[in-house]
Amino acid sequence: MNKKQDIIQAAVRIFAEKGFEGTTTLQIASEARVTEPLIFYHFKGKEGLFSHILEISFREYFSRLDTLKRDLGTQFERIKALLDLHFRLVEEMPDQAYLVVSTCPAKLNYPEHLCTKNMHLQRERLEAYIADCLENGIKSGEFQEVPVHETANFFIAMINGLFRQRGLGLDELDGMRDVTVGFCKRSLVKG
């Protein structure tokens, strides 16, 4: 691993533990075993490093969303794949997920902030994906009649809640995946 990656990994851990305000570049440098000027060289300071972490977190999220298969057997299997993607993301990148949900809501009043742009894009993409599943599932008779827009918003709220698990001290996800998928299946699938 190179020094820049060492800085990023150390910063993610410390920012997630202490928050942006409670973290110093000296702490990050010490944890990454680099000199403090190296942080400024790569990122121009703490704010630049934090923004970089948010950017790569969103990039990874959207990359995973792009790889979601659209041609699974049933519409419920597509919804299950979307839920699984989010569970895996929280399991594999808990600190990054926590940083996004703990930081970005406060930035939504700033239209040009990277959080605002990416959170709006996330919402649009999730709503389109879920609405497509619901509409096709209702049309094919797989799903019960449900209000599409409202149900899509419910799913988005549930997904956003999943990202908040760490902040709520509910890091333990065992069993939660099965309960969530089971609940969604009983709520949507006929019979």
Top pLDDT among 61 and 160 is at 61
Q: What angle do CA 135, 89, 120 make, to 5 degrees?
A: 55
Quick: pLDDT tens for 114-153.
989 999 999 999 999 999 999 999 999 999 999 999 999 9
The whole-number pLDDT of residue 170 equals 59
The closest alpha carbon to 11, from 179, 187, 34, belongs to: 34
Whether the CB-CB separation of 12 and 93 falls below 8 Å is answered with: no
- Measured distance CA(79)–CA(39) in Å, rounded: 41
- Measured distance CA(88)–CA(169) in Å, rounded: 18
The whole-number pLDDT of residue 43 equals 94
Whether the CB-CB separation of 94 and 166 falls below 8 Å is answered with: yes
What is the mean pLDDT of the segment spanning 151-161? 92
- Measured distance CA(74)–CA(89) in Å, rounded: 23
Top pLDDT among 189 and 112 is at 189
Quick: pLDDT tens for 72-112.
789 999 999 999 999 888 889 988 988 888 888 888 888 88
Q: What angle do CA 154, 160, 166 make, to 5 degrees?
A: 140
- Measured distance CA(61)–CA(167) in Å, rounded: 19
The whole-number pLDDT of residue 189 equals 96
Query: Mean pLDDT, the chain, as a whole number?
Result: 90
φ and ψ at residue 24, rounded to 5 degrees: -115, 160
The separation between CA 94 and the C-alpha centre of its own chain, rounded to angstroms, equals 9
Q: What is the pTM of this model?
A: 0.87
> What number of residues does the chain have?
191
pLDDT-based confidence at 68, cuts 50/70/90?
A: confident
Whether the CB-CB separation of 103 and 172 falls below 8 Å is answered with: no
Q: Is the pLDDT of residue 11 over 70?
A: yes
- Domains contained in the chain, CATH given: 1-44 (1.10.10.60), 54-188 (1.10.357.10)
What is the mean pLDDT of the segment spanning 162-169? 67
Whether the CB-CB separation of 83 and 184 falls below 8 Å is answered with: yes
pLDDT-based confidence at 60, cuts 50/70/90?
A: very high
Give the pair of three-digit tokens for residue 155: 């799913």
Whether the CB-CB separation of 80 and 88 falls below 8 Å is answered with: no
The closest alpha carbon to 99, from 62, 58, 153, belongs to: 58
